Amino acid sequence: MYRLKAMTPTVALAMVLVACGAETTEPTPTLAPLVATTIAMDDMATDSTMNMEHDDDEHVFLFGEPAEESAASRVIDISTLDTFRFTPDPIAVRVGETVTFRVTNDGVVPHEVVLDDQAGQDTHELEMQEMTASGNMTMMMDEANGFSLAAGESKVLSWTFTEPGTVYLGCHQPGHYAAGMVASVVVEP
């Protein structure tokens, strides 16, 4: 809770900046507004009520939800490669199925795995680009829908898929996503 109170002035400032930015063609690209705007956009994307008590770490997923590893009916082994690819790709799952993705970085540079729909991938890519531009750290923290992987590292992500369609595993290390480091997860009805 202390964190939410601490965030409130920043979010309020960001909202003013966003409001200003909407009226002009290009907000001044200084560091502080970029970071603040990212926070504000997160809140707007996940909470239409703009509730200031909302935890900005919470992310609403339209295609499923995180699951306990013990609930998974199968394990799908995935590798991240320095050729900016995931293998295998595509990956097929079924609606209602809970699976564990066991992802291993078989490359020598850091990679990451973010499970999300196209909008989520776009948002995360923008956040990573802004962090890179600002000179801040570019390794994402472990989240409900993803993590970063050092060379040789292996982590698991368990997920229950609830809607048919195609979602994605994306790597948003600088330049990787643009180079095509995204795999399709086809959720079959």
Binding site for Cu ion (CB under 5 A): 111, 171, 173, 176, 181
At its nearest, how many Å lie between Cu ion and the CB of residue 149? Answer: 9
What is the C-alpha to C-alpha distance for residues 69 and 64, in angstroms, rounded to an integer?
15
At its nearest, how many Å lie between Cu ion and the CB of residue 153? Answer: 13
At its nearest, how many Å lie between Cu ion and the CB of residue 171? Answer: 3
| Residue 93 or 182 having the CB closest to Cu ion | 182
At its nearest, how many Å lie between Cu ion and the CB of residue 66? Answer: 22
What is the C-alpha to C-alpha distance for residues 185 and 90, in angstroms, rounded to an integer?
6
With 0-12 / 13-18 / 19 or more C-beta atoms within 10 angstroms meaning exposed / middle / buried, residue 184 is middle
- Residue of minimal Cβ distance to Cu ion: 171
| Residue 124 or 176 having the CB closest to Cu ion | 176
| Residue 22 or 108 having the CB closest to Cu ion | 108
| Residue 111 or 124 having the CB closest to Cu ion | 111
